Structure 1
Amino acid sequence: PSECLLHSFLFLAVFGRAIHAMARISDEFWFDPVEKGLALRSVNSSRSAYACVFFSSMFFQHYCWTAVSEPCQKEKQLPLPCKLIMKAVLPVFRCANVLERNVEKCSISSSAGAQHITFQLLCKHGIVKTYYLTFQECDPLQAVFAKHLCPNILKVHSRLLADVMIHFPTSQEEITLAVTPVKVCFKSYTEEDADFSRTMVTEIHLSPEEFDYFQVGVDSEVTFCLKELRGLLAFSEATSVPVSIHFDRCGKPIAFSIEDMVLEANFILATLCEAQKEAASQE
């Protein structure tokens, strides 16, 4: 059977946080094992937010992506990618501290003829928890976005970015990122007709020296949803990998990504264009 085995709390917590980050985008996600590793993908209903987290085969203690039906037959790929319901998977990776205390290994497997994926938690004291999650076969999900062509690229430690986002209330739905060659500003986004006497406006300014990499080719001000970014930050903090931000002018997507030797994550979010901002202010 096709199988991958997650070993040690560190990897298990990282994988679990990836699932939770996906849950901020959609109530379902694509589970897509390929020869080089396992990809998790998600897109929201309005297709304004897309996420992909790819775990290299080296991330796992053991990774096998094909099934052999007969010794003389060629190896046969499983009927994947497939789609899983998020609320069925979330209980498997409920919270990191429970995983740390109780779970030693996590096995994820599926057989060629099966209509489910098996998540098995091997816990302390010989306890084994097994979850059989049915899946739906589906077409591949892929976002087309050439982030390397973006004129603006920022690279910042996830801890610093998380510290910035703490200052925005959980009720804040959208924020604006404004950049020039000499400064970066994160600020609350509010419609022009909002009652400012009842609205808390937050602005946080950073200098280029606070970034690991700083390239601003065009002055820009982009507004995007904060919910999906919070999920990525919780995930990236577990990996201690810097976050790269690629973007252009408003109306074009913004990409938040992390990458190291064993995993790569890309969260691509739509940004408000001027026409949308004007419509929001007129409503």
Structure 2
Amino acid sequence: MKSLLDAASVKVLARAIHSLAKIGDELHIEPTANGLTLKTVNASKSAYSAFNFHIPFFLDFCHLSENTVHPDPEEDTVIKCKLPMKSILSVFRSIGSLEKTVETCSIALPFLEALLIIEFKCKHGIIKHFNLRYFECESVEAEFCKEDYASKFSCSSRFYSETLLSFHSSTQEVTWSLAMDQVHLSNHIDDEVDPSKCVRTEVTLAKDEFIDFNVALCTQVTFCLKELRAILAFAEALKLDVDCRMEGAGQPVLFSLGKENLYSADFLLATLTPILDSTANSSRAGHNERKNKSSTQSNLPKCSSSLPLLRDKTDAGSLSYAPLQTTEMPMATDSPHHTSRLNSLSLIEPNLFVAMEDVDLEVQPPPPKRARARHIFQNCLKATQESGERPCEVFAPDSENDE
């Protein structure tokens, strides 16, 4: 693969890499006949991001890698690789500096060298050369279709960023409630039992605030806020509009953005799968009445969520991680919350909850402090010599008493 970019394209590429670095720890590079694709997946396999840079984005582009050892056009191949995000960030570290100094940038993936070669031609004849070691890997792709989403609405990235300023920086998850004429945003709280100890933030966005608003299903969707901030950081810097597509709770949310025929990006985020209140109540009743366990479990409602697939393009029959199917979600017996942490975009098989109904665990309360200290030091207070209890062998008899 060989490509050549101008100064403006280098700036966009650097911002895309910084945005992907906030989501995943590895950068997947996939040259195609239509351009260059950069992808990443986060550690929990709950967020997938892909940037597609089309051929007009480059000054020159060739997706084939030349065989530098034995030049032969028939042996040219396409290299798909990945490398740590820290190594690529060291090259595109300062976006402001790249914009001011770099004139052109060439990126190459030579055959049989296992190196990503990046060369900056800067002002005053300065040339910066970087060799990054990569690892060959298979293509990772999330299967989704934009037309399958029931609800879609788009707005400027700046409007989204100003809305999220109302939420505290420590907020981890946000809930979007869709209605026919508005979108309601609120911070998601599920770990605090006492509502009086929680700070709740709610923002309502009217239909007129959006560029395009088409909600076909009223629902509530909860997902992580960290990935959304990474999306808006890229879109706001380039003044782009962000399209949001939602279907329902437990189904992934899709954010899309792009500019004409130059580049496009898709961000697929997992959402929380809700559990009905009756499920939690019936689970607690089944734990208290163990004799009627079989009858209680038969009345438990089941909640399911579809798992989008991450598939290897090279082999359609082999799956990278989890198969595309609808799985029945296991339920924790004593869960006080009404949401499940099962990711709808999980790439690994979910660990089933262990049923604790058949295990009798009697936890005794700790003894008082005085009794606890007495128990610890009781061995120290015992007599050290007890001749009547343990026999001992006499090696030398006692001498006769001298009168």
Show the counterpart of 2:35: 37
Show the counterpart of 2:105: 106
Match of 1:62 among 51, 60, 63: 60
Query: Cα deviations across residues 95-117 of structure 1 (Å, max 9, x unaligned)?
Result: 32122222222221121121010
Deviation at 1:5, TM superposition (A): 1.5
Distance 1:192 1:240 in 2: 36
Deviation at 1:206, TM superposition (A): 0.9
Show the counterpart of 1:271: 271
Show the counterpart of 2:13: 15
Change over 3 Å in CA distance of 1:218–1:91 after alignment to 2: same
SS at 2:99's partner residue? helix
Deviation at 1:16, TM superposition (A): 0.9
Give yes or no for contact 1:68–1:76 (8 Å, CA) kept in 2.
Answer: yes
Deviation at 1:196, TM superposition (A): 4.6
Deviation at 1:31, TM superposition (A): 0.4
Show the counterpart of 1:281: 337
Give yes or no for contact 2:66–2:110 (8 Å, CA) kept in 1.
Answer: no
Distance 2:72 2:338 in 1: 68
Please give the residue correspondences for 1:88-99 in structure 2 after superposition, counting only pairs within 5 Å. 88-99=87-98
Change over 3 Å in CA distance of 1:197–1:241 after alignment to 2: same
Deviation at 1:230, TM superposition (A): 1.0
Identity %: 34
Give yes or no for contact 1:66–1:75 (8 Å, CA) kept in 2.
Answer: no
Q: Which moved more, 1:250-259 or 1:163-172?
A: 163-172
Distance 2:214 2:45 in 1: 28
Show the counterpart of 2:218: 219
Q: Report the AA paired with residue 109 of structure 2.
A: S
* Unaligned segments of structure 1, at least 5 residues: none
Change over 3 Å in CA distance of 1:157–1:68 after alignment to 2: same
Distance 2:161 2:193 in 1: 27
Query: Cα deviations across residues 165-187 of structure 1 (Å, max 9, x unaligned)?
Result: 22222211111111100111121
Deviation at 1:235, TM superposition (A): 1.2
Distance 2:176 2:114 in 1: 44
- When the two chains are superposed, the root-mean-square deviation of aligned CA atoms in Å is 2.2
Deviation at 1:73, TM superposition (A): 3.5
Distance 2:61 2:237 in 1: 22
Q: Report the AA paired with residue 52 of structure 1.
A: A
Q: Which runs of 4+ in 1 moved over 4 A?
A: 68-72, 194-198, 276-280
Q: Report the AA paired with residue 264 of structure 1.
A: S
Q: Report the AA paired with residue 65 of structure 1.
A: H
Show the counterpart of 2:240: 241
Query: Normalising to structure 1: TM-score of the pair?
Result: 0.91
Deviation at 1:42, TM superposition (A): 0.7
Give yes or no for contact 2:275–2:338 (8 Å, CA) kept in 1.
Answer: no
Distance 2:239 2:264 in 1: 13
Distance 2:264 2:200 in 1: 34
Q: Report the AA paired with residue 43 of structure 1.
A: V
Distance 2:2 2:42 in 1: 28
Give yes or no for contact 1:67–1:75 (8 Å, CA) kept in 2.
Answer: no
Q: Which moved more, 1:223-232 or 1:165-174?
A: 165-174
Say if 2:104 is the partner of 1:48.
Answer: no
Give yes or no for contact 1:147–1:247 (8 Å, CA) kept in 2.
Answer: no
Q: Of the two structures, which has the highest relative contact order with CA contacts closer than 8 Å and spacing of 6 or more?
A: 1
Please give the residue correspondences for 1:54-203 in structure 2 after superposition, counting only pairs within 5 Å. 54-69=52-67, 73-74=73-74, 76-78=76-78, 80-191=79-190, 193-203=192-202
Q: Report the AA paired with residue 270 of structure 1.
A: A
Give yes or no for contact 2:274–2:338 (8 Å, CA) kept in 1.
Answer: no
Deviation at 1:125, TM superposition (A): 2.1
Deviation at 1:199, TM superposition (A): 3.6
Q: Between Structure 1 and Structure 2, how many residues are aligned?
A: 280
Q: Report the AA paired with residue 91 of structure 1.
A: S
Deviation at 1:11, TM superposition (A): 1.9
Q: Report the AA paired with residue 34 of structure 2.
A: K
Q: Report the AA paired with residue 21 of structure 2.
A: A
Distance 2:43 2:109 in 1: 28
